[in-house]
Amino acid sequence: MTETTAPATLPMTMVEMIKVAKDYPPKVTALSDISLSIPRGEFLFLIGMSGAGKTTLLKLIAAMEQPTRGLIEVAGCDITKLKGRSLALQRRRIGMAYQDFKLLTEQTVAYNIAIAMEVAYRKPQEIHTTVRDLLEQLQLADKHDTPAGELSRGEQQRVTLARAVANDPELLLIDEPTGNLDTTTTVRVMELLRRRHTAGATLIIATHDPAIYQGSPHRTLELHRGRLHTLNPGTDPQIGKGEQA
Amino acid sequence: MTETTAPATLPMTMVEMIKVAKDYPPKVTALSDISLSIPRGEFLFLIGMSGAGKTTLLKLIAAMEQPTRGLIEVAGCDITKLKGRSLALQRRRIGMAYQDFKLLTEQTVAYNIAIAMEVAYRKPQEIHTTVRDLLEQLQLADKHDTPAGELSRGEQQRVTLARAVANDPELLLIDEPTGNLDTTTTVRVMELLRRRHTAGATLIIATHDPAIYQGSPHRTLELHRGRLHTLNPGTDPQIGKGEQA
Amino acid sequence: MNFWLAVFRQLGRNLRQTWTSQLMTLITVSLSVLIFSFFYLIYCNMLSAGGRLGNDLRLIVYLEEEPGPEMQEQLRRRITDFERVEKIRFISPEQALDLFAGQLGQNRDLLTDVPSDFLPPSMEVTPLKNLRGLHQVSLLADFLDTLPGTIKVQYGQEWVERFYAFTRLLSIIVLLSGTLLVLTATFMVSYTIRLTILGREDEIELLRLVGATNGYIRTPFLLEGVLQGCMGSALGLGSLYLLFQWTLNHFSGPSILNIFSLTFLSLPILAIIIGTAMALCGIASHISMRRALRI
Amino acid sequence: MNFWLAVFRQLGRNLRQTWTSQLMTLITVSLSVLIFSFFYLIYCNMLSAGGRLGNDLRLIVYLEEEPGPEMQEQLRRRITDFERVEKIRFISPEQALDLFAGQLGQNRDLLTDVPSDFLPPSMEVTPLKNLRGLHQVSLLADFLDTLPGTIKVQYGQEWVERFYAFTRLLSIIVLLSGTLLVLTATFMVSYTIRLTILGREDEIELLRLVGATNGYIRTPFLLEGVLQGCMGSALGLGSLYLLFQWTLNHFSGPSILNIFSLTFLSLPILAIIIGTAMALCGIASHISMRRALRI
Ligand SMILES: Nc1ncnc2c1ncn2[C@@H]1O[C@H](COP(=O)(O)OP(=O)(O)OP(=O)(O)O)[C@@H](O)[C@H]1O
Ligand SMILES: Nc1ncnc2c1ncn2[C@@H]1O[C@H](COP(=O)(O)OP(=O)(O)OP(=O)(O)O)[C@@H](O)[C@H]1O
Ligand SMILES: [Mg+2]
Ligand SMILES: [Mg+2]
């Protein structure tokens, strides 16, 4: 799907976490004893109170933080062992929409989205059409050349989302996608994400918005004081389809 | 209520906007032809799609931006004419919770809240108790000395809110207070804001979260493409009470 | 009262929390001051060494015949009328012969046959120390040449010319380098402070938004700049002093530096340098602040 | 291919978008190079001026009696055995008297009665130009004094000593200032580049997060540093050249600078300075990058 070559045998499990814990010295224990297995192609909701550790969990999967204890495997690789070039290649296969956006405020919206594709040496023409297409879908077509710092918060949130999906990653980690969005826009965003899921991507969405996860057929996990509880085991027919896509 | 001396005769109208427009050159028209009158002590919801201009409207009231056209009076002063010292004094009477938080990420949570009170030369003892009290109410008591940059987004959002209300301002402008908060925390935050309202403060809350504004007795205005529409005229018994408080 | 309390609290907090960039600024200021004052020190010592080098510059005027006391008086008057000089000494042919004999050393007995007026009488003119530009000396020489009874004026023109050319060149060098270094130092200080403030733009913006007056925001930064200037220049001058002492200890062998009895900068000069650095840093802070506040 | 395309695109973007801070860095590098090479230029010209000033240093050896041709040969041999010298010239008493008469000018007829061997015979030794340290010269003088038949060795000790003390002091100054300035320049370059990178930490972090390899991230910054070093040093040397020309035009009156025929730095030296600046900036970039990447 992406330019980077995936391992010859695609493992069925996308994310495997065993007894993972994360402390922030001196006294914060963000996560403790998390065991979690996410099959390829799953659509998973992660909920929990503010400060429960949702973002920390996503950061661990994206190898942005190192776990204090435990094992984390993503697409069959122990990501705590990855370094240099292989870490970079691994990251191109993961798309993350950060809760604090991490936009380059001085740069144009187009560049902010394109950067994820440029890094993977996509062709300029391809980058151009993909960016246009994503902006169109997120109702930001007229902001193509605006510096990202001049957008409203909701617009910035959508740009972050566009960047996460731009490089067509196998694993999408979406942190609080609709915190600054109204209902109509939320629907559009969720539609976009669902299309990615149908195309075979594995999705983990951390959110606090009941409108998104309530009544959905997908597995929903709740974090509470750093521990994981299953809220809804999920009846998702999509799971495991990823390999054929 | 605040240390800064209010005008001798408290005007009944807190915010008065007449035919206000705001353009961002070259081609964005964020607000056009806004006329709005907010009596002292009102609790007002401002809703609208992402990019509708909610934040821009609040920024105009807080004198963070200059309107392109029109007149804005806050507590009887034409704020477009304020400069230097009188602008500073005016700002101490307004508390704003910014959508992008504007926290000093290197500084502690306590300092981030205290700064609003220090500027008004409040006594150190008073500052200390107020900060402790606010953190307690927002369930952040254990983060007193943590650098603000190390908090989760939801925690940061609450710190921003705490800073807005710390100096006991007459006018509270709250931009998207619950974008990163779960339902339980949202209730707590709203409670805090309601208490301020009861104490006499005028509140304007920009939000997209139907859970907050739907079914409330307060006036609700909707912004759409830079124009204002009344969604709910409000049946608020609180209006006008501010003067006696 | 409240205001100054707040300002000093803020200042303390700034210094504590951004101490790395504070240190950077401090080093920069110190280095600038060090370089500048190093150069200035060299200049001063050059000047005084130059003065000392020229100390025994004197003009020998060979005269046709030995002047009588009256004539001597007249010559003295004419010379001092033209230009104030330090000393005028008359040398009779006998004295000249004695001196010459002294120079010949053991061969002096060769001179026994020579008549005592074999060498011409002469007059030794020592110019004032502060009037020793090449131009002035040669003017004086020209004047002495026009005096009645003068045969020839000698003053080792070649060496004197060389020495003054050297001194002149040094002045040019010091002037140019001084200008260059003052420019650099000023540029660096304001650049560094601007960068420091740039790193705190967020804080300044927030302070404005929560209603701090301009004085409240600016004063701590201003004080910080002044403090930086004070400590930085003191540090720079301190290092210079150490460097100076080291040079003295290592190179001041009696044979080499005896005519260059090096002296350190005087106290008033030190005070002026520190004061200027403080003022400069304060102004740089102020300008940077004005910029930041215009946002 | 793809890699270099991306790198150059990135480089172009960086240069375009942060041109103000790029300009700042450029000015800083230029100033550092300007100051350093200015100093170096002065040093070189000092050295050659010093060489020229000492050109007519010669030792006069007064002899007991005029040496015959055989004896002259022997003296020559003994001297050149001790140390290679440039020239040895024998002066008979007659020649000495002629020279003395020339010095006396119009009074030369006073010497008509004097016997032709009234002045002692002498030998003029001109040391090699590269062997003119004060120490070597005085060693040579001491040796000449031990030769049989030597009465006295004279070489204007006082002036020579002063001149060499001066030159020695200059060397110390140049050495110290040179070290100081190289330190400052290095410090400033790395400081500036670190600050530039600090301003783009966000971008670097994001690039890492979206899966850019270290090479992809570092190379543009490295190239930028090298480019800065190249352009900055070229600019600095250019300004120095202008300054140099200006000095020549304004101060090179025939009377003053004739013995200091100033020359600019040679091409290889210019190339070395530019190359060093490029390498230095590249290394500074690299070090700063390593830091940033460790985040
Ligand atoms: N870099 C850090 N250093 C120290 N503590 C941290 C750091 N990052 C997060 N924490 C703490 O870890 C806990 C979990 O944080 P996390 O960001 O994962 O929460 P979250 O579930 O994403 O909350 P939210 O819904 O508010 O975003 C919080 O108490 C937070 O203060
Ligand atoms: N500094 C700016 N420069 C240019 N355009 C701007 C600037 N700030 C806001 N805008 C534009 O003005 C419009 C209104 O922005 P505003 O931030 O008021 O929206 P909002 O209602 O707060 O949206 P959201 O719910 O996403 O926060 C948007 O289209 C935005 O792109
Ligand atoms: Mg989070
Ligand atoms: Mg907004």
Q: Which atom of ligand 2 is nearest to the CA of B226?
A: 14
Residues C281, C287, C291, C292, Cα dihedral to 10°? 40
Measured N-to-C along each axis, helices D201-209 and D267-294 cross at an angle, to the nearest 10 degrees, of: 60
Q: Is pLDDT above 80 for B225?
A: yes
Amino acid found at C266: S
Mean pLDDT confidence for B69-87: 90
Is D210 in Cβ contact with A116 (below 8 Å)?
yes
Residue C38 pLDDT class (50, 70, 90 cuts): confident
Residue D98 pLDDT: 79
Kindly identify which residue of chain C lies nearest to residue D173, measuring between CA atoms. Answer: C42
Q: For position B51, which CATH number holds?
A: 3.40.50.300
Query: Which residues on chain B are in Cβ contact (under 8 Å) with C211?
Result: 88-94, 116, 119-120
Q: Which atom of ligand 2 is nearest to the CA of B48?
A: 21
CA distance D291 to chain A (A): 15
Query: Which residues on chain D are in Cβ contact (under 8 Å) with A118?
Result: 6, 9
Question: Looking at chain C from residue 145 to 164, which residues have their Cβ under 8 Å from any Cβ of chain D?
Answer: 151-152, 159, 161-162, 164
Task: Please indicate if any CB of chain A lies within 8 Å of the CB of D211.
Answer: yes
C85-91 β-sheet, strand order: C85-91, C122-127, C59-63, C150-154
**How many structural domains does chain A have?**
1
Judged by phi (left if over 0) then psi (alpha if -120 to 50, else beta), residue D62 lies in beta
Kindly identify which residue of chain B lies nearest to residue C5, measuring between CA atoms. Answer: B121
Residue B241 pLDDT: 44
Residue B242 pLDDT: 40
CB–CB of A167/A120 below 8 Å? yes
Q: What is the pLDDT along chain A (245 residues), one digit of tens a residue?
A: 444 444 456 678 999 999 999 999 888 999 999 999 999 999 999 999 999 999 999 999 999 999 999 999 999 889 888 888 899 999 999 999 999 999 999 899 999 999 999 999 999 999 999 999 999 999 999 999 999 999 999 999 999 999 999 999 999 999 999 888 888 899 999 999 999 999 999 999 999 888 888 888 999 999 998 899 888 887 765 554 443 33
DSSP 3-state of C125: strand
How far is the C-alpha of A186 from the C-alpha of A163, rounded, in Å?
17
Q: Which segments of chain A does DSSP mark as H helices, in order?
A: 54-61, 84-92, 109-118, 124-137, 153-166, 183-198, 210-213
Mean pLDDT confidence for B202-216: 90
Kindly identify which residue of chain C lies nearest to residue D36, measuring between CA atoms. Answer: C177
Residue D20 pLDDT: 73
Q: Which atom of ligand 1 is nearest to the CA of A57?
A: 18
Question: How far, in Å, is the centroid of ligand 2 from the Cα of A73?
Answer: 41
Task: Name all chains with 3 or more CB-CB pairs below 8 Å to chain A.
Answer: B, D
Query: Which residues on chain D are in Cβ contact (under 8 Å) with A84?
Result: 213-214
Q: What is the extent of the structural domain holding A171?
A: 11-232
Residue B194 pLDDT: 94
Between strands C85-91 and B219-224, the pairing is unpaired
Distances (CA, A) of B137 to A29, B90, B132, B140: 22, 27, 9, 8
Residue B244 pLDDT class (50, 70, 90 cuts): very low
Residue B155 pLDDT class (50, 70, 90 cuts): very high
Residue C295 pLDDT: 40
The residue whose CA has the least distance to atom 2 of ligand 1 is: B150
Among the bound ligands, the one closest to the CA of B51? 2
The predicted-structure confidence for B124-145, as pLDDT tens digits, reads as follows 999 999 999 999 999 999 999 9
Query: Which residues on chain D are in Cβ contact (under 8 Å) with C42?
Result: 173, 177
Residue C130 pLDDT: 60
CB–CB of B169/B138 below 8 Å? no
How far is the C-alpha of C75 from the C-alpha of C70, rounded, in Å?
9
A29 Cβ below 6 A of ligand 1: no
Q: What are the start and end residues of each CATH 3.30.70.3040 domain in chain C?
A: 58-154
Residues A158, A163, A166, A170, Cα dihedral to 10°? -100
For the purposes of burial, counting CB atoms within 10 Å of the CB of D74, is it exposed (0-12), middle (13-18) or buried (19 or more)?
A: middle
**Closest residue by Cα to residue B53 from A146, A155, A162:** A155
Q: Which residue has the higher pLDDT, D130 or A91?
A: A91
User: Is A in contact with D (3 or more beta carbon pairs below 8 Å)?
Assistant: yes
- CATH 3.30.70.3040 for the D58-154 domain, yes or no: yes
Percentage of residues in chain C having pLDDT higher than 90: 7
CB–CB of B104/B112 below 8 Å? yes
Is A181 in Cβ contact with B50 (below 8 Å)?
yes
Q: Which atom of ligand 2 is nearest to the CA of B56?
A: 18
Q: Which residue has the higher pLDDT, D184 or A78?
A: A78
Select the residue of A89, A104, A120 nearest D206 (Cβ to Cβ).
A104
Q: Which two tokens stand for residue D184?
A: 């400052």
Q: Which residue has the higher pLDDT, C105 or A199?
A: A199
Between strands B202-206 and B43-48, the pairing is parallel
Residue C166 pLDDT class (50, 70, 90 cuts): low
How far is the C-alpha of D253 from the C-alpha of C165, rounded, in Å?
11
Q: Is pLDDT above 50 for D243?
A: yes
Question: How far, in Å, is the centroid of ligand 2 from the Cα of B98?
Answer: 13
CB pairs under 8 A between A and D: 51
Residue A111 pLDDT: 94
How far is the C-alpha of C9 from the C-alpha of C2, rounded, in Å?
11
Among the bound ligands, the one closest to the CA of A151? 2
CB atoms within 10 A of CB D142: 10
Range among B65-69, C93-97, C239-243, D204-208 rated most confident: B65-69
Query: What totals of helices (H) and strands (E) does chain A contain, helices first?
Result: 7, 10
Instruction: Give me Rg for the CA atoms of chain A.
Output: 17
C-alpha C145: how far from chain center: 35
C-alpha C173: how far from chain center: 12
- Does a structural domain hold residue B244? no
B65 HSE (CA, 13 A, CB side): 18
Residue B16 pLDDT: 94
Between strands A219-224 and A227-232, the pairing is antiparallel
DSSP 3-state of B33: strand
The model carries a pTM of 0.77
Residue C256 pLDDT: 46
**Closest residue by Cα to residue C153 from C136, C162, C171, C140:** C140
Percentage of residues in chain B having pLDDT higher than 70: 91
Residue B4 pLDDT: 45
Select the residue of B88, B102, B111 nearest C211 (Cβ to Cβ).
B88
Query: Which residues on chain A are in Cβ contact (under 8 Å) with B154?
Result: 49-51, 208
Residue C150 pLDDT class (50, 70, 90 cuts): confident
Residue B2 pLDDT: 42
The residue whose CA has the least distance to atom 3 of ligand 2 is: A150
Name the one residue in this structure whose structure tokens are 């539609």. Answer: A191
**Closest residue by Cα to residue A107 from D62, C130, D14:** D14
C-interface mutation test, from D151, D154, D195, D249, most C Cβ less than 10 A away: D195
Mutate which of A27, A49, A56 for ligand 1 pocket (most atoms within 8 A of beta carbon): A56
- Does a structural domain hold residue B239? no
DSSP 3-state of A45: strand
Q: What burial letters (b/e) apply to C31-41, b meaning 16+ CB within 10 Å?
A: bbbbbbbbbbb
* Sign of the dihedral through C-alpha D223, D224, D225, D229: positive
Judged by phi (left if over 0) then psi (alpha if -120 to 50, else beta), residue A46 lies in beta
